Structure 1
Amino acid sequence: MALRLSVKARVTAWFTALMLLVTAAALGFIVALGGTMLEGIAKANLSRAVQVNAGAVEYYRDERSEKFELDDDFSPNIFGSRCAVYTGEGRLLTGVMPDGLGAGEPFAAGPPRLVSGGGQRFYICDLPISGGALWVRGVTTAEEAEVFFSSMARLSFVILPVLVLIGAAGGYFIVRRAFRPIDRMIAAADAINEGSDLSARIGLPPKDDEIHRIAAAFDRMLARLEASFESEKQFASDASHELRTPTAVILAQCAALEKEGLTEKDYKKGISAIDRQAQKMSRLISRLLNITRLEQGTVKAQFERADLSELASVVCREMSSVHPDAELSSEIEPEIYAELDVALMSRLIENLVENAFKYGGGKVRVTLRREDGNIKLAVIDDGAGIPPEELPKIWQRFYRSDKSRSSGGLGLGLSLVKQIAGLHNARVIAESEPGKGSVFTLTMAER
């Protein structure tokens, strides 16, 4: 079975291997460069020592004899090198050579060269005088470079593991910190999976890196899922609550119609009651579906630049025909254009006017005007008004107060108004004073 490592382990292993490679290459480069430098310095000092001492040797020759003289500048030990003077036949005239090296090594003019003798390695440099009558030979040991190589090799065996361990520990620390948000994401997902708690969030502080952006996206996804889940729960709860009464009425009427001895009038009355409750259920389900679809975003608004003045006028005419016994007046400023979904905005105005008819005193006024760069649509009624403590609650689904919501409405119209206003980036507020009616105002930017 293949060993499966975590992402953190793989990244740490890769980082450690890279550190090992880089450190080994760096140490190898240092060793090679250091050895080359030491070798170059040793050869340069050797050449310099031979040249200096060659300048301090004077050679004389006549028909009967030959001789040489050394100036005071001649030094057999200079610049870390040993120097000696030989005749062309290899006879040592002055100076001392290391054991194993002497005239046995042939003279050769040129740059320093590496030779072995007496179990050691040396650099030798020869310089001829008077055409080879005398030779100045310089010798220096190659041991310094070799000692450097061996010291660095031993040091590398100590430094390399330490650097690798430090690199591995540092890499693991960095990877662990970098992956900590992912661990929190996993913990949040596990908590949701185990406890079905969609309110859990990762909650990382905002930062502009990939993992923090993933965490923020994860939180947004959870918020959307929670909203969707709560919306479904709310829909099921609301539907079951509101459908209970009409369902009970329909079942009761069906049971009553099954009895014997009923007249035709009784049947018509029972069927009429069933029809009313079924119509109510149909309207309720339609409204609930509309609200839920808007909340979940499954219904997309189709925005277009439209004449809001004309739309409001058309809705007012239609609502007047539906409620001929009520008094509806309007003050609509002409040619007010806005970016809106015509169908949804029409429904919003209809709901506000319908709400005013149901809970007003019989007189409703609709106004539309421009004000301070905004468009304001107001629906005003002369009803009993809404108590101040109940104003924040009227936007909730199925909310109906004992006084102002007693006319048999579903309690969904204003909730739908709130949803449609939000889609248009608009704000809708209610102002009311008990006994003096209510004013519902929609405010949206003029674009």
Structure 2
Amino acid sequence: MSFPNKKTFSRKRSIITTITLWYSFFIFIILIAVVIASFFVSRTISETAGQRELQSQAIEMVEELDEDDDELEEFESFDDGIYYAIYDSSNQVLQGSFPHFFDAGLPFKPDKISDVTNNGRTFQYYDLAIANSNQWLRAIRVKNQMGEGLRTLLTSVIIVLPLVMFFVIVGGYLILKKSFQPIKKITATAQEITNKKDYSKRIAVSDKGDELTNLAQVINTMLASIDQSFKREKQFNNDVSHELRTPVTVILSESEYGKDYADTMEDAKESFNVIHRQSQLMKKMVEQILELTRAENKTQLTMETIDFSQFVNQFLEDSKRLFNEQSIFLDTQIEEGINLVGDPILLKRLIDNLISNAVKFTKDKIRVSLSQSENNIILSIKDNGQGIAKQELEKIWHRFYRIDSSRHTKGVGLGLSLVKEIATLHQAQVRVESELGHGSDFKVIFKTNR
């Protein structure tokens, strides 16, 4: 596992910077959209308010003129952004004022707000007849004139928007940087583990319970698994080296003796017999090591539904010669019609190793039983040998472990390890019940509802 160096990181944009740029961009777009929407909404509200003001002021002015004819002499032609003009019945201006570029000769349109554009400027005007006379009033406002409130709003936005973006970018960057501190710690720890090859080291886990905490826990679990694998592999290599050292030493010694010191054919044959026995032991050990390695590395099983009752019976039938040659009485109690989903090759190896183990240590009898309950299928292989001490029961499943009393004469200590591995691949359990002087009962318990 390799990590990029600091120069590589310097040439690449960090995640923090990338996230900051992206969310800043989207926030900027959102703020601009809000400003634009606010502008048009405010302008619409301003225009609506301006139309209402134009209409209400025109009505108020007409009422004043209607109440007192002297008001015509005190008539104000401009008030609060609205221009007023009085026309006679022939559409001639009697009095008033107009904004620049407004066409004073537009026809009379009673009780209606109208728009007109001239020289790039848009005007609104409202015409009302003056009661008890042949005159009428026209009120005019510049439509595209921005209101004071709207100008203040836009000015404020122009000033505040850069400040808001500055605080959003800086504040967001600092928050992200702080949030990513655990990732930096995880990276630093992983880098240290890689450099020092120390897989016993773990990442510090906080009690926050967030996603980074879960990530650290998962990585720690992975490191624990890797650490166990390395330790197991190291122990395995040490065990293999230790177990092979003895037969290799014996073979070298005997071959050297036969080459340099054997004077007769009998001496040479004796050396050859020793070499042959040790070679057979090494061959058996290598074969079981390869089988165990294949079983451990097998991720996919060739699963089939097999008649397990017939499967076990057939194996025992094929092994009759072995039992007869060693004068072993075989007692079988096999229930018929028991089906099991499993890998036939591995299951055969499992049964073979358990039978071979029983043959090595039994006195003269082996009982093989197969039964099925509601949830389990139980395969039991029991011998009447010397049994196993309680303190040894858990150790017998370890690689190369052999009980001292039989260490130099029987087996290489890998058969039961392979049995346990095959059972694990089939999600089954292995158990042993044993008592010194009363034999051992090895059981493999398969689940029927797998």
**Which TM class, normalised by the smaller chain length?**
0.7 to 0.9
1:157 maps to 158
Which of 45, 56, 67 aligns to 1:37? It is 45
Q: Distance in 2 between matches of 1:231 and 1:237?
A: 10
Q: Which sections of structure 1, spanning at least 5 residues, go unmatched?
A: 60-67
Q: 2:34 matched to which residue of 1?
A: 26
Matching residue of 2:291: 290
Structure 1 letter corresponding to 2:16: K
Q: Structure 2: state its 5+ residue gaps.
A: 1-9
3-state DSSP of counterpart to 1:145: coil
| 1:283-331 deviation digits (Å, cap 9, x = unpaired) | 1111112112222336x43221112222222332344422422232222
Query: Which amino acid is 2:163 matched to?
Result: V
> CA separation in 2, counterparts of 1:328 and 1:272?
32
8 Å CA contact 1:46–1:112 kept in 2: the answer is no
State the distance in 1 between where 2:301 and 2:307 align. Answer: 17
* In structure 1, C-alpha distance between the alignment counterparts of 2:389 and 2:312, rounded to whole Å: 28
Q: Assess if the C-alpha contact under 8 Å between 1:253 and 1:270 holds in 2.
A: yes
- What secondary structure sits across from 1:403 in the alignment? helix
One-letter code aligned to 1:307: D
Match of 2:281 in 1: 280
Q: Classify the secondary structure of the residue corresponding to 1:258.
A: helix
- Aligned match of 2:17: 9
Partners of 2:114 and 2:79 lie apart in 1 by 14
Q: Which moved more, 1:155-164 or 1:417-426?
A: 155-164
Q: Which deviates more, 177-186 or 344-353? A: 177-186
CA gap 1:373/1:29 in 2 versus in 1, 3 angstroms: closer
Aligned to 1:400: 402
Write the distance in 1 (CA, Å) between the matches of 2:297 and 2:409: 30
- 1:381 maps to 383
Percentage of matched positions with identical amino acids = 30
Residue by residue, what CA displacement relative to the aligned partner does 1:133-165 show, whole Å, maximum 9, x if unpaired? 534243668898342233123211332123323
- Work out the CA distance in 1 between the residues paired with 2:406 and 2:282: 22
- Alpha-carbon contact 2:66-2:132 (below 8 Å) kept: no
* Number of equivalences: 426
Q: By how many angstroms is 1:240 displaced?
A: 0.6
Deviations 1:182-207 (A, max 9, x none): 54653453133112234556679999
Higher mean alpha-carbon deviation, 289-298 vs 301-310, is at: 289-298
Give the equivalent residue in structure 1 for 2:309.
309
TM-score relative to the length of structure 2:
0.79
**Contact in 1 for aligned 2:123/2:140 (Cα 8 Å):** yes
Provide the C-alpha distance between the structure 2 equivalents of 1:402 and 1:221, rounded to a whole number of angstroms: 36
- Quick check: 78-87 or 45-54, which moved more? 78-87
Match of 1:341 in 2: 343
Residue type of the alignment partner of 1:106 = A
In the TM superposition, 1:320-339 aligns within 5 A as: 320-323=320-323, 324-325=325-326, 326-339=328-341
Provide the C-alpha distance between the structure 2 equivalents of 1:112 and 1:47, rounded to a whole number of angstroms.
Answer: 11
- Of 380-389 and 232-241, the range deviating more from structure 2: 232-241
- Of 243-252 and 140-149, more deviation after overlay is shown by 140-149
Q: How well do the aligned residues superpose, as a CA RMSD in angstroms? A: 4.2
| Native 8 Å contact 2:85 2:93 kept in 1 | no
The structural deviation recorded for 1:275 is: 1.3
The CA deviation at 1:252 is 0.5
Q: Which letter maps to 1:316?
A: L
Secondary structure at 1:305's aligned position in 2?
A: strand
Aligned to 2:192: 191
- Specify the alignment match of 1:65 in structure 2: none
Q: Distance in 2 between matches of 1:170 and 1:351?
A: 67
Larger mean CA deviation between 313-322 and 350-359 belongs to 313-322
Q: Deviation of residue 28 (structure 1)?
A: 2.4
Give me the whole-angstrom Cα distance separating, in 1, the residues matched to 2:289 and 2:11: 55
- Provide closer, same or farther for how the CA distance between residues 124 and 327 of structure 1 changes in structure 2, counting only shifts above 3 A: same
Q: In 2, are the aligned partners of 1:352 and 1:417 still within 8 Å (CA)?
A: yes
Shift of 1:237: 1.7
CA contact (8 A) 1:181 1:204 kept: no
Q: Give the SS at the match of 2:445.
A: strand
Mean Cα deviation higher: 46-55 or 243-252: 46-55
- Distance (whole Å) between structure 2 residues aligned to residue 131 and residue 248 of structure 1: 138
Contact 1:45 1:79 in 2 (8 A): no
Give the superposition deviation at 1:389: 1.6
Moved more, 429-438 or 41-50: 41-50
Change (3 A) 1:132 1:365: same
In the TM superposition, what is the alpha-carbon distance from 1:105 to its structure 2 partner? Answer: 7.5
Using the alignment, how far apart are the partners of 2:399 and 2:12 within structure 1? 53
Q: Separation in 2 of the partners of 1:378 and 1:127?
A: 112
Distance 1:126 1:17, change over 3 A: same
Q: CA deviation at 1:27?
A: 1.1
TM-score, with normalisation over the residues of structure 1?
A: 0.79
- By how many angstroms is 1:80 displaced? 5.7
Give the Cα–Cα distance (whole angstroms) in 1 for the partners of residues 82 and 302 of structure 2.
99
Tell me, what secondary structure is at the counterpart of 1:410?
coil
Check conservation: 2:78, 2:84, Cα contact below 8 A. no
CA distance 1:292–1:233, change in 2 (3 Å): farther
